[in-house]
Amino acid sequence: MTSFNHIRMEDGSELSLAEWLHQPVHSTIEFAANAGVNDLRAFNYVRGGRVSSIGLPRRNATDQDTNVVKAGAMNQDEALLCFSLTMEVFGLEPITFGTAPTHTVAPQPLLSGTDYRRLQRDAMLEFYVGAAIKKPQFDSPFAYFGQSMGATVISSGDEGGTAAINTDYGTAGRISGSNQHALNLPIYVGGFGDQARPGNSMTFYAKFYNAFGGVFAGLRQGVRLKVVADGLKKRPA
């Protein structure tokens, strides 16, 4: 079914009917601590499809994993104006020193600050728009991306004594909208009904990888990373 979003008037002029709303687009990727991560892509599957993962059992995506309705592209008569890329990170296994529960410093789903820092040291995140495009619209070391969502935890991170319960939780800075880095130039991803590309939908995806190749050195936890393209989404009237 094609929605009404263009009306051609008698004099040849054309009206475009649409609404723009704040609706970030998100997609989840996963990888094991001992997995080589060279090309792990987000936004390339829909709900019910397979979550992008390396070194872990494949599973079907739920609404928590993605809200993309067309794999690798915007839906018909929709578009995305991306102002920022951000993320939320989860640890898939706990980190325990010794056998005492009080020595659990990063219980699942927390990712330890040390492991988060290892990702910031080694990982890259790139955003591609367009079919067969080899040059990303935006790319940066993982440490650039501020985290504007998640739980705020304040802890020393020290292992402490046997009677203490210590939590080590890593985040990419303050959990605040002001910590989300805005792109200097917004990235536009058009849909099937885009007047500039009639009959063609812009493909897009995000690529996460280890800049040094292979396994992230020292990583102890499997990771679930939810990549968020934050901005305005066009929805047809």
- Of 57, 46, 101, the C-alpha closest to 222 is 57
Residue 113 lies in a domain: yes
What is the residue range of 190's domain? 20-236
Contact, 130 vs 197, CB < 8 A? no
Widest distance between CA atoms in the chain: 81
The tens digit of pLDDT for each residue in 89-136 reads 999 998 877 666 666 778 889 899 899 999 999 999 999 998 888 899
Residue 11 lies in a domain: no
Tell me the average pLDDT across 76-99. Answer: 87
- Of 149, 150, 134, the C-alpha closest to 205 is 134
Contact, 92 vs 70, CB < 8 A? no
Contact, 147 vs 87, CB < 8 A? yes
Q: Whole-angstrom Cα distance, residue 189 to residue 114?
A: 35
37 pLDDT more than 50? yes
Q: Whole-angstrom Cα distance, residue 17 to residue 2?
A: 13
Residues linked to residue 50 through DSSP beta bridges, in sequence order: 60
Residues linked to residue 54 through DSSP beta bridges, in sequence order: 31
Residue 185 lies in a domain: yes
Q: Which residue has the tokens 């309705």?
A: 69
The tens digit of pLDDT for each residue in 45-75 reads 999 999 999 999 999 999 999 999 999 998 8
Contact, 222 vs 31, CB < 8 A? yes
152 pLDDT more than 70? no
| Position 1 confidence tier, pLDDT thresholds 50, 70, 90 | very low
- Tell me which range, 54-58, 154-158, 172-176, is most confidently predicted by mean pLDDT: 54-58
Residue 10 lies in a domain: no
Residue 226 lies in a domain: yes
Q: Which residue has the tokens 């619209």?
A: 137
- Counted domains in the chain: 1
With H, G, I as helix, E, B as strand and everything else as coil, classify residue 91.
strand
Peptide bond into 136 cis (omega under 30): no
Residue 15 lies in a domain: no
Distance from the Cα of residue 21 to its chain's centroid: 19
Residue 72 lies in a domain: yes
Mean pLDDT of the chain: 84
pTM of the model: 0.84
Q: Whole-angstrom Cα distance, residue 206 to residue 123?
A: 13
Residue 198 lies in a domain: yes
HSE on the CB side for 70, CA within 13 Å?
16
| Position 192 confidence tier, pLDDT thresholds 50, 70, 90 | low
